[in-house]
A and B are shown apart, each in its own frame.
Chain A
Amino acid sequence: MAVIIETVELKKNYGRHEAVRGLNLSVRAGSVCAFLGQNGAGKSSTIKMLLGMIHPTSGSGCIFGHRIDKEKESLLIRQKVAFVAEDKRLYDYMTVAQMIRFTKSFFPRWNHALESRLVEQFDLPLERRIRQLSKGMRTKLALLLGFARGCELLILDEPTEGLDPVAIEDVLQIVVSLTAQGTTVFFSSHQIAEVEQVADHVLMIDRGRLVLDAPMDQLKEQYRQIQAVFPEPIEERDFRLPGIEKIRTEGRTVSLVASHNVDLIVEHVRMLRAGSVDVLPISLKEIFLEKVKARP
């Protein structure tokens, strides 16, 4: 499948602060790719570089084969990509209807059917001024403007922040529906549950570096938590094996997180005379916590 977004050693410094430290990303056509990280991990800076809103300090990147750091090519990118920013910037003096009419005048491939469906589904007050909208309503309007543009690539920065569970499910359903029609979706989030539900690929960054890049199904199939109880207290150094990401010992109990190689690890644990060995699945949230907390 074709690669839609690609970056090579992408870096961004703000003064002496290194926000993004050499990212190599690759997002394939037709996928729903989640971009996870804590606040300040470098997600928004990366997205801004992809869209030509800020210039990379070094490294390069392409969207649809257009260079993100060349002004003319960046313009082509922005024509083909719908972006919903974290701050949901809108013209406060316009009414909802005016904002929709204004936006769609720029986009010949505007999806009118989706627009009407969303106005109804989101219960948007067409005659109200944007400055009088609640945070949730602003978000819904911004998402409508992004979704209805009819683009091949949708980039969403924290799309569901401030939305209630019903609206979140609506948003995810639209994402799913657009994907089924061929749109590629790249979205940043720290709402792990929604990511697990719709994403088929996960990119995780921590302090400006990629710490995980894997298909969702692979994560679920290969990551395991292994718990074992031994007859006598046991030490961490007995568990140096490839695939073990995390070791926690408490007296006679040991808890391991493995990213692969589970069979051999279990065999090793049994050889150490474990009384009981439990192999349990692990959720994306736990993987995330292990990845961002595991710091030297």
Chain B
Amino acid sequence: MFRKPNPSSGVPIYVQIKEQIRHAIETGALLSGDQLPGIRSLAETLVINPNTVIKVYRELEQEGVLEIRHGLGAFVASHRRSRSKTEEIRDAQQLMCEFLETLREQGLNDGEIRRLFEAELAGELQRR
């Protein structure tokens, strides 16, 4: 289910994996109560440091996204608003498609769009 992270993107690997897990939950690929892979198994599959996996699970637990059941593993926490979140994300995907279309019609290519996006997000992050 999870993709190998891009190690040289400049975004820490643990952040990339956290995003992937969040995305999987938001799109409904992972449901409340579903079990996540074990630490060793996910580390081997993605060929990343097991300490990174531990960090991901621990932080997502603190953020209320996952539940760690000792001796059993990590599970998707039950969310009251997960259904509406899924819808929000679907709506956002639609908006994103239209937005990309508009930009392309204005003559921007995908590389330019990506750069604008990343620069804007990085700038936001910095301003916060």
Co-assembled chains A and B: yes
Give residues in A with beta carbon < 8 Å to B: 30-32, 169, 172-173, 176-177, 179-181, 192-193, 196-200, 216-217, 220-221, 224, 262-263, 266, 277-285
List CB contacts (< 8 Å) of B42-79 with chain A: 43-44, 47-52, 55
Contact of A282 among B10, B39, B119, B125 (CB under 8 A): B10
Known contacts A278-B119, A278-B122, A279-B123; is-contact A173 B44 (Cβ 8 Å): yes
**Shortest Cβ distance from residue A165 to the other chain B in the assembled complex, whole angstroms:** 12
Listed A/B pairs (19) with beta-carbon separation below 8 Å: A172-B47, A176-B44, A176-B47, A177-B40, A179-B43, A180-B39, A193-B7, A198-B48, A199-B49, A216-B13, A217-B13, A220-B11, A266-B126, A279-B119, A279-B123, A280-B10, A281-B9, A281-B122, A283-B9
Q: B28 within 8 Å of A by Cβ?
A: no
Known contacts A173-B44, A180-B40; is-contact A217 B12 (Cβ 8 Å): yes
- Chain B neighbourhood of A220, CB < 8 A: 10-12
Interface centre among A216, A224, A266 (most CB of B within 10 A): A216
CA gap between A177 and B7 in the complex, in Å: 18
Contact of A193 among B8, B12, B13, B49 (CB under 8 A): B8
Q: Contact: B49 with A176, CB < 8 Å?
A: yes
Known contacts A180-B44, A181-B40; is-contact A278 B123 (Cβ 8 Å): yes
Contact of B118 among A31, A200, A277, A280 (CB under 8 A): A280
Known contacts A177-B40, A180-B43; is-contact A279 B12 (Cβ 8 Å): no
Q: Contact: B8 with A285, CB < 8 Å?
A: yes
List CB contacts (< 8 Å) of B88-128 with chain A: 118-119, 122-123, 125-126
- Chain A neighbourhood of B48, CB < 8 A: 176, 197-198
**Shortest Cβ distance from residue B60 to the other chain A in the assembled complex, whole angstroms:** 15
Q: Contact: B50 with A180, CB < 8 Å?
A: yes
Contact of B12 among A32, A179, A221 (CB under 8 A): A221
Find the B residue at minimum CB distance from A185.
Answer: B49
CA gap between A176 and B48 in the complex, in Å: 6
Find the B residue at minimum CB distance from A226.
Answer: B126
Q: Contact: B49 with A281, CB < 8 Å?
A: no
The 5 closest A-B pairs by CB, nearest first: A281-B10, A196-B7, A180-B40, A180-B50, A220-B12
- Chain B neighbourhood of A281, CB < 8 A: 9-11, 122
Q: Contact: A179 with B51, CB < 8 Å?
A: yes
**Shortest Cβ distance from residue A132 to the other chain B in the assembled complex, whole angstroms:** 31
- Chain B neighbourhood of A199, CB < 8 A: 49
**Shortest Cβ distance from residue B2 to the other chain A in the assembled complex, whole angstroms:** 14
Q: Contact: B8 with A263, CB < 8 Å?
A: no
**Shortest Cβ distance from residue B106 to the other chain A in the assembled complex, whole angstroms:** 19
CA gap between A47 and B96 in the complex, in Å: 52
- Chain B neighbourhood of A31, CB < 8 A: 51
- 8 A-B pairs besides A172-B47, A283-B10 with CB distance below 8 A are A173-B47, A180-B44, A193-B8, A197-B47, A198-B47, A217-B14, A277-B123, A281-B122
Known contacts A197-B7, A220-B11, A280-B10; is-contact A179 B50 (Cβ 8 Å): yes
Known contacts A177-B40, A277-B123; is-contact A200 B52 (Cβ 8 Å): yes
Contact of A284 among B8, B43, B52, B122 (CB under 8 A): B8
Q: Contact: B43 with A176, CB < 8 Å?
A: yes
- Chain A neighbourhood of B118, CB < 8 A: 280
Find the B residue at minimum CB distance from A285.
Answer: B8
Find the B residue at minimum CB distance from A219.
Answer: B12
